[in-house]
Structure 1
Amino acid sequence: MNSRNDNVTQAQKLAALSPFELKDELIKVAGGGATARSAANLPMLNAGRGNPNFLATIPRHGFWQLGHFAMRESERSFAYLPEGVGGFPQREGIVERFDLFVRENKGQPGIDFLAGAVSYVRDQLGLSAGDFLYEMCEGILACNYPVPDRILKNTEVIVGQYLRREMIGKHPFVGEFDVFAVEGGTAAMAYIFNTMRENFFIKPGDTIALGMPIFTPYIEIPALNDYQLNIVNVEADVANGWQYSKKELDKLRDPKVKAFFLVNPSNPPSVKIDEASLQYIAEIVKERPDLIILTDDVYGTFADNFVSLFALAPKNTILVYSYSKYFGATGWRLGAIATHRENVLDAALAKLPKEQKLALHKRYESITTDPDNLKFIDRLVADSRTVALNHTAGLSTPQQVQMVLFSLFSLMDTPDAYKNALKRLIRSRKRALFETIGIPLKEGDPNVVDYYTVLDLEYFGERAYGREFVDWLLKNTEASELLFRLAQDAHVVLLPGQGFGTPHPSGRVSLANLNEADYRAIGKAIRTLLDEYVERYCAQTGKHVAR
């Protein structure tokens, strides 16, 4: 009796965990580490967390070569001291010295890229090559505070151009936008939630909408005692290709909904919002000009012809982007927040009641002589360092340099060779997975991005084995049982889709972090497990299932 109660308690504890914490429990069951091997000499295959096993090499080579040049620049000062003391780079003559450095190191990895980057910045973006090189050298040496604190001057132009290319594309876009360089998309989320609360955009008891399924922290943060928000789920439907129906999107018309947060392309389905739905949301925004939208578009660079909601409703939308997945740079912690220079957030701040304006005036008066007109994005910067430390705010300058080099690498890759290589890579992995499981793979949907895929038990199970089998399986197994069985029997780790808000029991498979042969092994393990349940079903019910 006690043993059964202990098992129930343990199941309840596991059910309360975030899928990213549950992953650790699954890893323990599967073998304990990425290189652990079972008694059968089987490697653990962790397709849970979406850390890619690919990365962009060319801009990294450029980073290290730039570091060598910057060190030469630094050592020009205080050269008379033998103790290894350098100084700041000198602006005068820096372009000529860089050209000499390039000639001396011709043929070294990253040199041609770095020379091309300087040429692109000067010839295509119209920036001063000298100012750019000085900013990059000072930045990579990390010898000064980030100034401006929101983002370095030339860095903002280059990152802005990258966001225009990847997030806006050919869509018409009127006006300019500001960028805040942050420590990855996770920092962006934390900063935005905090500043929205501090500036009275959200308060306990308010309602926000979430485009479901969604990256789990967007579900968990609003429930914290810091926020205590009510949630309206805007559900995407697997049977509808993971798109939002008009009926679901109409929930945004409710004036109680203060903000709409979404990940596009979605996580975990990895499907971008189709053009019709983007237009429909933009029409709702016209009817509800006070609606705030946050779109987290980290996977947009894996999509074909991606257009962000930021392009269609720029004045209502906060854009969040992370460099982590596309460039294989999760450890660099590189992200950006962008807001249009004419936006509803700043307009709403100007219309706050007198008492709230006074409170915010007092909050920000130590960092500006005009706190009432401090823009929302600059409040993000200040709040990221609890206002009082605003003078030391900002993403570390070497991080900003790598962000710039990643951006220029993409901007200079006019045929999208790197992007197309990554698309081929992850899509061949998905094909291998589905073929081995025995699930027909529908190809050709331009909205499917394939960074992840969701193995929806109800949707795929019904099509493969029939509705009666699925009903039996759901009745006779816990939602996480199949995941633990995969971990224990086959040393395969997936994340539970329901932790991301999927409507049916499912597993999220990252297609980014293992090789093609591994996905075939995962597919075989899933097929073996399902066949075992089919046999049990047939034995218990006396019914036959075609396989």
Structure 2
Amino acid sequence: MGADCLRAHVLLIWCLTGLPAPHPGAYGSPCVFACCHRWSSIMEPDPLRISPFSAKDMLVAHARDVLGPDAALLDASRGGPNWQLRTVQCAWHVLGLYADYCYGGPNDLPSVRVLAPDPPTDHAAHFRRFADSVRDLRESLCLGMEYVERVWDYLHLEVYPDRWIGESIGAFALAMTAGYYPSPATLDFLPPIASRFLARTFGVQQAPEDFDLFLGHGATGTFGAVVACMARNELLRPGDKVAMVWPWYEPMKDLFENQYGCEVIPIQRRREQLWEADESALAALDDPDLRLLVIVSPGNPVDTTLDDGLLSRIEQAVERNPDLVILCDYVYANFVETGYDNILRRAWRNVVAFYAPSKDLGLVGARLGVAWIPTASPLNRRLLQMSPARARKVDARYASRSPRRRPGFYDRLVMDGSHVSFSHMAGLPTPSQVLLALCMLFPLAAPDEAGHYFRWVRTELRGRMEALYDGLGMERESCTDVCRSNYCALLPLDEVAANQGPRCAEAFSRVPLWSFLEHLAHSRGTIIMPGPAFGGEAESARICLTSLNKGAYRQVGRNIAEAVGDYTFPTPCQHCR
């Protein structure tokens, strides 16, 4: 027995190192290798039951193993745009140069900058001199300078009409030096800009003081921070019911189900109903025990907004259950026509809205996320309604940092963002907050250029979607009652097979989804993601339309159709398992 265990351990280590497996007769009984093989099978993850993003990495690795490490892949799984708006980024660099011009350095060591708390500078005149000196040096500086000057005009005329413009210029310049910790965590110039951005994008006409503005690392990072703060304060507990509009963005389901132990209830939308919600699924909204509703609109992987019927039922649910909290990620909103209906318009006090203005402009690596938290949010009301015992328990975490008053949800969120103990240094880096302000100001201060840009984005994405379906040789389903972002697609592979005839459909119905995705990866170097993890149909795949050009998406469509057709008259593929 001891020898067999030793052999099994040796073989298990051998398998884990990736070395070729020994002959079954080596090291004694053949059953030892069989035991090791069973262990290896147990440890192999089911790629359709893990994160689809991890599964995508497995497909990329598989394609490179077969095709070579330098093979050019058509990766249609990535969500980051392959374009950037230069105007805002150039303006940010211009402000960095102005901060250096403004503060300078000592004569004995010019490479050092000494910051004065309140430099006696006429920033309006100082900036004009700076602009005249650098405007014509490079096209990128001229582009950025023109936008910065529009920003100063907008701030002076629309945001701070009673304030000397030099104060705004000075606040931006000081933030660009990165010489101070954010104080407050969200710099003062951001909330009035954010409220105007919210009004223009979603039609929500509320005063800046109606919302607390929380900043984080992208919309998802900000979303995760809000949920974590809810859990720490027992506003979300294991077993709580969380409704999610389905198909959904998989990491959000994982967050509630696996990280916080909640019961996730799907509000099912189906393709055959043009992505409107099932009447039976809407019953979840009538449950008085429902604590939270999670929405992505426009969706991912289904790129539609919510239909009027679902919005009305949510509105009724809020009327019956005023403590219902709605977390809504609107990160693709500017990829559709502005002004589409949304639950933020209808029930803003109950909605925590999330957005990533930097993603609009292709600056995904900046990771700039915003959450608008209503000051009248049920989150604050539920904190106040806690029993004395529970209140003492959750308040203890913040007692040393908020000794004179019981903090509201937003204050707890800010402190949690710096692990409470370091809350005196809370907030995004100050240069990042300037970039965030410039991103949100773009449609406000430069509406003509922004209109042209977003029309180009929508036309480009629509063209890529048409190219994908042209390559597939199919027509996309039409949805007339909702808006579409064309950011992504949930492709029914069984319909791709049916489009090639009954023989192909019958043959493809016997093919496991993962086997097909691997075949597509190694036979044609094309990467798409499994759809079921996002709540899609069993034979579906998620495709992002942001990372390749139109010609590439046409080829992606052809490759998918051809790979599906391979099963009609199958020939052995040496790389298929």
User: Shared fold by TM > 0.5?
Assistant: yes
Q: Does 1:432 align with 2:460?
A: no
Match of 2:344 in 1: 310
Match of 1:242 in 2: 275
Match of 2:431 in 1: 398
Match of 2:534 in 1: 500
Query: Which of 471, 493, 517 does residue 457 from structure 1 map onto?
Result: 493
- Between the aligned partners of 2:479 and 2:535, the Cα distance in structure 1 is 26
| Aligned amino acid, residue 489 of structure 1 | S
- Between the aligned partners of 2:197 and 2:306, the Cα distance in structure 1 is 21
| Aligned amino acid, residue 102 of structure 2 | E
Question: How many pairs does the alignment contain?
Answer: 525
Question: Cα distance 1:534–1:5, how it changes in 2: closer, same or farther (>3 A)?
Answer: farther
Moved more, 115-124 or 3-12: 3-12
Match of 1:101 in 2: 130
Match of 2:196 in 1: 161
Question: Cα distance 1:207–1:98, how it changes in 2: closer, same or farther (>3 A)?
Answer: same
Shift of residue 5, structure 1, vs aligned partner? 6.3
| Aligned amino acid, residue 70 of structure 1 | A
Question: Cα distance 1:307–1:376, how it changes in 2: closer, same or farther (>3 A)?
Answer: farther
Q: Does 1:44 align with 2:77?
A: no
| Aligned amino acid, residue 339 of structure 1 | I
| Aligned amino acid, residue 337 of structure 1 | A
- Between the aligned partners of 1:407 and 1:82, the Cα distance in structure 2 is 35
Shift of residue 33, structure 1, vs aligned partner? 12
- Between the aligned partners of 1:274 and 1:79, the Cα distance in structure 2 is 65
Q: Does 1:181 align with 2:215?
A: yes
Deviations 1:86-141 (A, max 9, x none): 32472641111112222333342311111111111111222532232122111111
Match of 2:316 in 1: 283
Runs of 5+ unmatched residues, structure 2: 1-32, 137-141, 572-577
Contact 1:173–1:311 (8 Å) recurs in 2: no
Shift of residue 236, structure 1, vs aligned partner? 1.5
- Between the aligned partners of 2:199 and 2:405, the Cα distance in structure 1 is 30
Shift of residue 244, structure 1, vs aligned partner? 2.0
After TM superposition, the structure 1 = structure 2 runs for residues 84-233 of structure 1, keeping only pairs within 5 Å, are 84-88=112-116, 90=119, 92-107=121-136, 108-126=142-160, 128=163, 129-149=165-185, 151-166=186-201, 168-169=202-203, 176-224=210-258, 226-233=259-266
Question: Cα distance 1:35–1:280, how it changes in 2: closer, same or farther (>3 A)?
Answer: farther
Q: Does 1:525 align with 2:559?
A: yes
C-alpha RMSD of the superposition: 2.6
Shift of residue 62, structure 1, vs aligned partner? 0.4
Shift of residue 188, structure 1, vs aligned partner? 1.2
- Between the aligned partners of 1:296 and 1:155, the Cα distance in structure 2 is 20
Match of 1:71 in 2: 100
| Aligned amino acid, residue 293 of structure 1 | I
Larger Rg: 2
- Between the aligned partners of 1:342 and 1:464, the Cα distance in structure 2 is 55
Contact 2:150–2:446 (8 Å) recurs in 1: no
Shift of residue 12, structure 1, vs aligned partner? 4.3
- Between the aligned partners of 2:39 and 2:483, the Cα distance in structure 1 is 45
Question: Cα distance 1:390–1:255, how it changes in 2: closer, same or farther (>3 A)?
Answer: same
Contact 1:27–1:33 (8 Å) recurs in 2: no
Moved more, 387-396 or 413-422: 413-422
Deviations 1:169-216 (A, max 9, x none): 2x5658722211111122112211211111111111222111112221
Question: Cα distance 1:161–1:479, how it changes in 2: closer, same or farther (>3 A)?
Answer: same
Contact 1:36–1:44 (8 Å) recurs in 2: no
Q: For residue 447 of structure 2, give the secondary structure of its aligned residue in structure 1.
A: coil
- Between the aligned partners of 2:159 and 2:111, the Cα distance in structure 1 is 41
- Between the aligned partners of 2:499 and 2:535, the Cα distance in structure 1 is 22
Shift of residue 6, structure 1, vs aligned partner? 8.4
Q: For residue 509 of structure 1, give the secondary structure of its aligned residue in structure 2.
A: strand
Q: For residue 124 of structure 1, give the secondary structure of its aligned residue in structure 2.
A: helix
Q: For residue 65 of structure 1, give the secondary structure of its aligned residue in structure 2.
A: helix
Match of 2:393 in 1: 359
- Between the aligned partners of 1:147 and 1:35, the Cα distance in structure 2 is 51
Question: Cα distance 1:248–1:97, how it changes in 2: closer, same or farther (>3 A)?
Answer: same
- Between the aligned partners of 1:180 and 1:91, the Cα distance in structure 2 is 32
Q: Output the TM-score relative to the length of structure 2.
A: 0.85
Deviations 1:478-510 (A, max 9, x none): 122221111010000111111212133211111
| Aligned amino acid, residue 144 of structure 2 | G
Contact 1:457–1:505 (8 Å) recurs in 2: yes
Contact 2:244–2:295 (8 Å) recurs in 1: yes
- Between the aligned partners of 2:261 and 2:423, the Cα distance in structure 1 is 27
Question: Cα distance 1:472–1:404, how it changes in 2: closer, same or farther (>3 A)?
Answer: same
Question: Cα distance 1:91–1:227, how it changes in 2: closer, same or farther (>3 A)?
Answer: farther
- Between the aligned partners of 1:508 and 1:258, the Cα distance in structure 2 is 30
| Aligned amino acid, residue 162 of structure 1 | F
Contact 1:59–1:406 (8 Å) recurs in 2: yes
Shift of residue 218, structure 1, vs aligned partner? 0.9
| Aligned amino acid, residue 250 of structure 2 | T
Shift of residue 20, structure 1, vs aligned partner? 0.6
| Aligned amino acid, residue 452 of structure 2 | A
Match of 1:59 in 2: 88
- Between the aligned partners of 1:371 and 1:14, the Cα distance in structure 2 is 49
Contact 2:379–2:409 (8 Å) recurs in 1: yes
Q: For residue 267 of structure 1, give the secondary structure of its aligned residue in structure 2.
A: coil
Q: For residue 520 of structure 2, give the secondary structure of its aligned residue in structure 1.
A: helix
Match of 1:350 in 2: 384
Q: For residue 14 of structure 1, give the secondary structure of its aligned residue in structure 2.
A: coil
Match of 1:28 in 2: 61
Deviations 1:335-382 (A, max 9, x none): 00111121111111110111011123322222224442x221221111
Contact 1:20–1:49 (8 Å) recurs in 2: no
Runs of 5+ unmatched residues, structure 1: 538-547
Q: Does 1:487 align with 2:521?
A: yes
